[in-house]
């Protein structure tokens, strides 16, 4: 804001300084006065040069900071909402905030400096113009604000159309996410053309909503240029008449014309700021929709600490007890047992007598790890994406019988995994997920069908190695395979 004022005030003073140079230097044939005012113009130019650099630099910094904080706040809160998020909001809404909304919010942050400078420059000009010639000063100082207010009635329709466009963008993003996540299935059943048509129809709705918003935006831009232009034309005509009558000097005419032309800039910035505010309000509402979501589960006000070390779990709903330090295998169709044991749903589950509902949710997440066979691998260096810091990554990979996968990669543990591990086969990806879960070395590890995509020989090796690695720690495996029951300390048939 400071550099915005230091940028626009010198610009506003330049026409006045040039007018004084004309009257006191050129018209009066006073070389000393002319040189003095030339020096003033150069000094204003120097301030203008430095302030332009600093304004641009700080404006960009404000843009990036606004974008980063928006993204950080939304993603962090979405993470806190956790497993309840997909039931509360579409995936496309989260993606759209990061893809488009943060640009609108950051754009508003960036223009604040120029907007503040516009207000300061207008006040400075108001004082100076009224002091010189009241008539022209009033024309400029009343005409420009009225010209600014001229396009205000169009802002509400623009906001409605922008909101409609943003709604369509969210829909299109959700459709795209669905198509990408199900691409392999689509190819298998020949559904690519159908979904391509669906996305094309959605894209056309986005385009039509964008054209409607753009048409209203064009009207606002046209009015924002026309009305200040009429004020400038009026000042030029009136100033020329006053100069011919001898009421004002030639320097005054030049100064008033230059100032009225300059005021077109702050008026333009006000219009741009109003437009950015409109977009930012739409974006902020979408972001706040996410920020208002609440987790399905929260920590109690006075949480009870979980037992230290490897503790057991007792599910009262199914009557299943997973003893501390043992490998428990559950076969059959246990329903949402995994979610109950991991406290992703509210259910009567005890940790060695302590109700999980009475424990701090962060501690539950930290000490009870639930690993589904449909979890995701993230893009990045393999060792970083699989190694969670508890068990050595090579040991975890060996236990998951995945070292052959690593050995087959060109860069081994330094290989860059693609998003979702899509360059791996289903069995390879499942073994990587198991290795990641094992490497966390959680006090309680719950595995949901961890070997459903591997052959029997591989599964037998994995089951034996997991039993050995997790000896003395609580492990629960939900599996239909008899190979896991052979190494289990206790077995339940759900």
Q: How confident is the model at residue 179, as a pLDDT?
A: 60
SS3 helix, strand, coil % of the chain, rounded to 5?
Answer: 70, 10, 20
**Phi, psi (rounded to 5 degrees) for 477:** -120, 125
**Phi, psi (rounded to 5 degrees) for 4:** -65, -40
What does the pLDDT profile of the chain (494 residues) look like in tens digits? 999 999 999 998 998 899 899 989 998 889 999 999 999 999 999 999 999 999 999 999 999 999 999 989 998 898 888 777 877 887 667 777 877 788 889 999 999 999 999 889 888 887 887 777 777 778 777 777 777 677 667 667 766 777 777 677 766 766 666 666 555 555 555 556 777 777 788 788 888 888 887 887 788 777 777 877 787 788 778 878 887 888 888 888 888 778 877 877 887 788 788 878 888 888 898 889 889 998 888 899 999 999 999 999 999 999 999 999 999 999 987 888 999 999 988 899 999 999 999 999 999 999 999 999 888 888 899 999 999 989 999 999 999 999 999 999 888 999 998 887 888 888 899 999 999 999 999 999 999 999 998 999 999 999 999 999 999 999 999 999 999 999 999 999 97
Sheet with 320-322: list strands edge to edge: 320-322, 313-315, 349-351, 354-355
Q: How confident is the model at residue 494, as a pLDDT?
A: 77
Give the single-character DSSP code of 306: P
Residue 238 pairs in a beta bridge with: none
- Segment (H or E) for 315: strand 313-315
**Maximum Cα–Cα distance across the chain:** 109
Tokens describing residue 478: 């939900």
| Residues with Cβ within 8 Å of residue 214, at least 6 apart in sequence | none
Contact 40, 47 (CB under 8 A): no
Angle, CA 224 vertex, CA 221 and CA 229 arms, to 5°: 125
Residues in the chain: 494
3-class secondary structure, 490: strand
Phi-psi region at 101: left, alpha or beta (left = phi > 0; alpha = psi -120 to 50)? alpha
Contact 316, 348 (CB under 8 A): yes
Q: Is the pTM of this model over 0.75?
A: no
Inter-CA distances, 351 with 19, 324, 338, Å = 84, 9, 14
**Beta strands at 444-448 and 320-322: parallel, antiparallel or unpaired:** unpaired
Residue 350 pairs in a beta bridge with: 314, 355
- Segment (H or E) for 321: strand 320-322
**Beta strands at 313-315 and 349-351: parallel, antiparallel or unpaired:** antiparallel
Contact 386, 435 (CB under 8 A): yes
298, 301, 304, 308: CA torsion to nearest 10: 60
Q: How many CB atoms lie within 10 A of CB 96?
A: 23
**Phi, psi (rounded to 5 degrees) for 182:** -110, 25
Q: How confident is the model at residue 246, as a pLDDT?
A: 80
| Residues with Cβ within 8 Å of residue 42, at least 6 apart in sequence | none
User: Crossing angle, helix 264-291 and helix 155-181, to 10 degrees?
Assistant: 50
Domains (range + CATH), the chain = 2-291 (1.20.1560.10), 313-493 (3.40.50.300)
Using H for helix, E for strand and C for coil, what is the string for 166-231? HHHHHHHHHHHHHHHHCHHHHHHHCCHHHHHHHHHHHHHHHHHHHHHHHHHHHHHHHHHHHHHHHH
Please name which of 315, 311, 325 lies closest in space to residue 357, comparing C-alpha atoms.
Answer: 315
Q: How confident is the model at residue 359, as a pLDDT?
A: 96
Please name which of 50, 285, 245 lies closest in space to residue 159, comparing C-alpha atoms.
Answer: 285
| Residues with Cβ within 8 Å of residue 352, at least 6 apart in sequence | 307, 311, 312, 324
Contact 38, 21 (CB under 8 A): yes
Per-residue b or e along 34-48, where b marks 16 or more CB atoms closer than 10 Å to that residue's CB: bebbeebbeebeeeb
Q: How confident is the model at residue 295, as a pLDDT?
A: 85
Report the distance separating Cα 357 and Cα 431, nearest Å: 32
Q: How confident is the model at residue 155, as a pLDDT?
A: 66
């Amino acid at each position: 804001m400071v550099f915005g004022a230091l940028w626009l005030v010198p610009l506003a003073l330049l026409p006045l300084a040039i007018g004084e140079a004309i009257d006191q230097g050129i018209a009066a044939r006073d070389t000393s006065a002319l040189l003095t005012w030339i020096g003033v113009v150069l000094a204003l130019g120097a301030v203008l040069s430095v302030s332009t650099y600093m304004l641009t630099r700080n404006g960009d910094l404000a843009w990036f900071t606004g974008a980063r904080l928006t993204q950080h706040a939304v993603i962090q809160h979405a993470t806190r909402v956790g497993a309840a998020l997909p039931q509360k909001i579409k995936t496309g809404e989260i993606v759209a905030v990061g893809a488009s909304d943060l640009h609108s919010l950051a754009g508003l942050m960036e223009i604040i400096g120029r907007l503040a400078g516009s207000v300061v420059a207008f006040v400075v000009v108001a004082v100076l113009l009224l002091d010189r010639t009241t008539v022209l000063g009033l024309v400029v100082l009343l005409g420009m604000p009225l010209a600014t207010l001229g396009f205000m009635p169009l802002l509400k329709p623009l906001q409605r159309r922008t909101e409609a466009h943003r709604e369509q963008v969210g829909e299109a993003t959700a459709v795209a996410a669905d198509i990408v996540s199900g691409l392999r299935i689509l190819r298998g059943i020949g559904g690519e053309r159908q979904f391509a048509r669906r996305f094309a129809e959605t894209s056309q709705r986005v385009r039509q909503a964008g054209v409607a918003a753009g048409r209203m935006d064009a009207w606002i831009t046209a009015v924002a240029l026309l009305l200040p232009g009429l004020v400038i034309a009026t000042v030029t005509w009136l100033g020329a008449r006053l100069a011919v009558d001898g009421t004002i000097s030639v320097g005054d005419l030049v100064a008033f014309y230059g100032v009225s032309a300059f005021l077109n800039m702050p008026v333009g910035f006000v219009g741009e700021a109003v437009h950015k505010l409109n977009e930012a309000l739409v974006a902020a509402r979408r972001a706040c929709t996410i920020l208002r979501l609440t987790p399905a589960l929260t920590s109690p006000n006075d949480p009870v600490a979980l037992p230290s070390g490897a503790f057991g779990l007792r599910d009262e709903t199914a009557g299943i007890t997973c003893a501390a330090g043992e490998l428990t295998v559950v076969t059959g169709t246990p329903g949402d047992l995994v979610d109950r044991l991991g406290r992703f749903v509210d259910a009567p589950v005890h940790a060695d007598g302590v109700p999980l509902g009475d424990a701090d949710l962060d501690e539950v997440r930290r000490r009870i790890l639930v690993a589904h066979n449909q979890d995701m691998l993230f893009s990045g260096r393999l060792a970083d994406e699989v190694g969670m810091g508890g068990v050595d990554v090579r040991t975890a990979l060996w236990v998951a019988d995945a070292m052959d996968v690593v050995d087959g990669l060109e860069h081994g543990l330094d290989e860059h995994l693609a998003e979702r591990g899509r360059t791996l086969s289903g069995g390879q990806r499942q073994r990587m997920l198991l290795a990641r879960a094992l490497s966390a070395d959680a006090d309680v590890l719950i595995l949901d069908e961890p070997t459903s995509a591997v052959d029997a020989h591989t599964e037998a090796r994995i089951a034996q190695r997991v039993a050995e690695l997790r000896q003395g720690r609580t492990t629960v495996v939900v599996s239909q395979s008899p190979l896991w029951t052979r190494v289990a300390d206790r077995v339940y048939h759900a």
